[in-house]
Amino acid sequence: MTRRTHTRRGMTLVELLVAAAMSIMVMWLLTWCYQQGLGSFSNTKSQGDLMDQLRQVSSLMTRDLTASHFEPDDTRANLGLRVSDQGIVGGSTNYTPPHGYFTAMSKTYTVNEGSDGYGFQSTYSTGHSVQFTALLPGGPPQNLFCADLTGASGSTPQAYYGRAAEIAYFLDSTPTGATPGGTPLYNLRRRQRVCGINSDDAAAYDLSGAPSNTSDVMSTAGSSPSWTVLPLRQLSVSGNPSNNRLVQASLSGARVGEDILMSNVVSLEIKFTGSAQNGTTWPTPYANSSGTITNTDYPYDNLPGTGVFDTAGPQYVSSMTPIRITGAMIRIRAYAPRTQITRQTTFIVSL
């Protein structure tokens, strides 16, 4: 009997190499797909984080700007608590500044980026700012302003709470970086100093022995260790000849207790609405008599004249155009370095 044996043919070296190459290719494709998905998720998260920051900033600015700004005054409309209650500011010799202040710069450094095919303008600014006194209702901590003071070495930090404060929003004067295209980027800062509503309220603060950085977070007179907290009356021009107001302080450089609300900000633009007198046309109309678009943001506009408004009126800003402010439009444009995309938010507040 003859036996036949069948030998099983094995894989050649070439076949093994081809199989290995195909396996590596499949693994590379899977890795690439995973990386693409992870990158897409990261980009989406980066954009989401940027939009969350913009919403938080707009919420905080809205709270501060819509708060009461001045000490109650029975002689003014609605007790004179808001900017719109002051009437026309800047042109009346009988005008008396309120106790407290509201000042803004909204013209300098405004850049017109041009118009689209429909005539709608695009602008941005790095020099706009707004500074004011604000009053919260009081009660729980979220309805109070807080000043944290770090005492001498080894001591326990102190926290002072109050209903009134000076607040400023502005961009750093020096860029912190730039986009790949060369557009400067800035930090958006919020500066705050707690103050008194009136003399009795101011006297209730005991700052004896407070540290040297007290004046960075409290509106004070004097020097360490004998600080005196200033009331709103003394922060107005009529109440304090030395004009010891936050607006007098430099808006560059960090201070104790100062918040960087956002980094990589391209533009902070603040425009206002209201009315003017003495023949001044403000805000600029949406279109002129020939139909050419002149103000895409109407009824909001940069401040007229030199672009400065202050409730102290001619006693403080002699060249200020007589206007009444009733509202503000804030536009913030920020850049996301990871995605290299810019996002913008615009919100409106009643003053």
Q: What is the pLDDT of residue 255?
A: 61
> Residue 244 falls within a domain, yes or no?
yes
> Residue 266 falls within a domain, yes or no?
yes
> Residue 267 falls within a domain, yes or no?
yes
Q: Measure CA of the first residue to CA of the last residue in the chain; give whole Å.
A: 112
> Residue 9 falls within a domain, yes or no?
no
**Tokens found for residue 308:** 């400065």
Which stretches of the chain drop beneath a pLDDT of 70?
1-10, 39, 41-43, 91-93, 114, 116-119, 150-157, 224-225, 239-244, 247-257
> Residue 17 falls within a domain, yes or no?
no
Contact 186, 126 (CB under 8 A): yes
pTM of the model: 0.84
Q: Could you report the per-residue pLDDT of 245-283, keeping only the tens digit for each?
A: 776 555 555 565 578 899 999 999 999 999 988 778 899
Contact 205, 212 (CB under 8 A): no
Q: What is the pLDDT of residue 154?
A: 47
Q: What is the pLDDT of residue 18?
A: 81
Contact 196, 231 (CB under 8 A): yes
Alpha-carbon torsion, ordered 274, 275, 280, 282, to 10 deg: 30
Instruction: Give the number of domains in the chain.
Output: 1
What is the DSSP track for 170-184? EE-SS-SEE-TT--E
> Residue 6 falls within a domain, yes or no?
no
Contact 293, 286 (CB under 8 A): yes
CB neighbour list of residue 304: distance below 8 Å, 6 or more residues apart: 276, 280, 282, 321, 323
Distance CA 203, CA 230 (A): 9
Provide the residue range defining the domain that includes 76. Answer: 38-350
Q: What is the pLDDT of residue 22?
A: 86
Quickly tell me which residue has 């939009």 as its tokens: 51
**Tokens found for residue 129:** 């700012």
> Residue 103 falls within a domain, yes or no?
yes
> Residue 319 falls within a domain, yes or no?
yes
Distance CA 128, CA 292 (A): 26
CB neighbour list of residue 273: distance below 8 Å, 6 or more residues apart: 283, 299, 300, 301, 325, 326, 327, 328, 329
Distance CA 104, CA 309 (A): 5
CB neighbour list of residue 92: distance below 8 Å, 6 or more residues apart: 313, 322
Q: What is the pLDDT of residue 313?
A: 83
